[in-house]
Amino acid sequence: MNLKIKNALISVSDKEKIVPLLKTLKKFNIRIISSGGTFKSIRKLGYKCTELSQYTGFEEMLDGRVKTLHPKIHAGILHDRLNKNHKNEMTKKKFPSLDLIVVNFYPFQKVVRESKNSKNIIENIDIGGPTMVRAAAKNFKNVAIITNKNDYSSLIKELNRYKGKTSIKFREMMSSKAFGLTAYYDAMIANWFNERLKILFPERKTIFGRKFKQLRYGENPHQESSLYINDYNDQQLGLKQLHGKELSYNNYNDIYAALEILISIKKKSGTVIIKHANPCGVSENKDPYKSFNNAYSCDPISAFGGVIACNFKINKKLALMIKKNFLEVILAKGFDPGALKILKQRKNLRIIDISKYKPKNITSIKNFDGSFLIQNKNKIVIDQKKLKCVTKVKPSKKEMAEIEFAFNVGKYVKSNAIVLCNNFSTIGIGAGQPSRLDSCKIAIQKAKQFQPKKIKNSIAASDAFFPFADGIKTLVKAGVKTIIQPGGSIKDEEVIREANKSKVKMLFTGIRHFNH
């Protein structure tokens, strides 16, 4: 059913794009009601407008906290135009219908981003705006609700098409958007309070997100997908694409897997290579070129078509090396002009500048059919209070840094995980196996295939305990001389005996790093 708009209430904190809308409302003789800054702006632009307090006969109070919360406003929005009782009540009170509500909220998001003043933040929690929006959205059969300035053009087209009227299809679509906005707005406010009160797992959890991009498809071509931003700054990710095809679902999945590891490498130049969300090469070195080369040498076959992330700037020398290999994405903290020119010769290579990327979320979420799991991020690598060497042969303080590097990489490998390292670089990674022994065998097989000379005296890191001594025997036989693992198996004594028998160093961390 198409309904004529006679009266419109406009209350917007963001006045952008409003002029074309005002012109159209004037064209169809639609009365405009407004208050405060919006009223002044409309009058200044040369359009007629009735001030809200004059319309209701009630002056706004409490520094503007109460202005639209009035029966004349809400009855005008909520009454059913086909209900006789409603019509009689409205006639008796002499309340006209409000057929169009144009509202956007106080800039709570912006204030949270730019201020730490809790009083100012609380003052920017909008009450009247969301109340009007919910009322209009509920009564979409009779009222059009616009909550986004980008929808002004759609409203203008609607009014021109139907000569000052709106269609039921349009009003229902705007209603859907309106309830999405109020839910989003309230979720942000609830999230702010939870953060302020340090409540990580509230009784009711609402995850807010703004659609950032429609992706070509999901994990597979027959799946649909979109990317959402869950942050007060919901306009950018901190990832600046400089070249290449659009990023896919799988690209983003790999990019975030790479960034998780890269952020954990803080002291030296770090390189991470990801394939199917698993690392297939990680290295840190004072020399960026060696860091890159060592990471790539870990498993060059798996690196084919992968994602490479570097916590340093890419120069011309590195760019020439990168260009020789087929990659999907290269992430770095900047690119020299010469390097960028070389890399852009690869037409489809996605080149991403991560200089402004900052990790934000402190939780991780896995969604299922009708439920989701939420946990805080795994930020611990080693707890020095729990760490102990359980073998007769002990590592030196110098060796401990590399041992910790190996265990840290193991955090990000899909369980069951075994990581072999030498000189702060992975040389073999066994990932995602139901059997830890199989993970050991895969890590060794990878190391023998690409870096056989580095297996001798290497370090092995396991994300969880060894349930039997067979994994230890397999690693030692290959040349491993140091093993770091959580411990905690009923077979620990058997495992320790095997390590002592083989004269290898073994440390128990008391910290497990499952990554499913």
Count how many residues are written for the chain: 516
Question: Quick check: 418 and 461 in contact, CB under 8 A?
Answer: yes
Q: Is 91 helix (H, G, I), strand (E, B) or coil?
A: helix
Question: Quick check: 280 and 258 in contact, CB under 8 A?
Answer: no
The residues annotated with a catalytic role in the active site are 138, 276
Strand partners, 306: 327
Question: Quick check: 427 and 402 in contact, CB under 8 A?
Answer: no
What tokens were used for 73? 């406003």
C-alpha–C-alpha distance, residues 437 and 340, integer Å: 44
Residue 329 carries which side chain, given as an amino acid letter? V
Interstrand relation of 505-508 and 480-485 (parallel, antiparallel or unpaired): parallel
Question: Quick check: 420 and 379 in contact, CB under 8 A?
Answer: no
C-alpha–C-alpha distance, residues 243 and 266, integer Å: 27
Residues 6+ apart with CB under 8 A from 20: 152, 153, 156
Q: Is 425 helix (H, G, I), strand (E, B) or coil?
A: strand
C-alpha–C-alpha distance, residues 192 and 198, integer Å: 10
Strand partners, 352: 241, 331
**Sign of the alpha-carbon dihedral angle for 301, 307, 312, 316:** positive
Residue 209 carries which side chain, given as an amino acid letter? G
Q: State residue 80 phi and psi, 5-degree precision.
A: -85, 120
Distances (CA, A) of 196 to 112, 127, 200, 201: 12, 20, 10, 13
First to last CA, the chain: 52
Distances (CA, A) of 429 to 169, 249, 270: 55, 24, 17
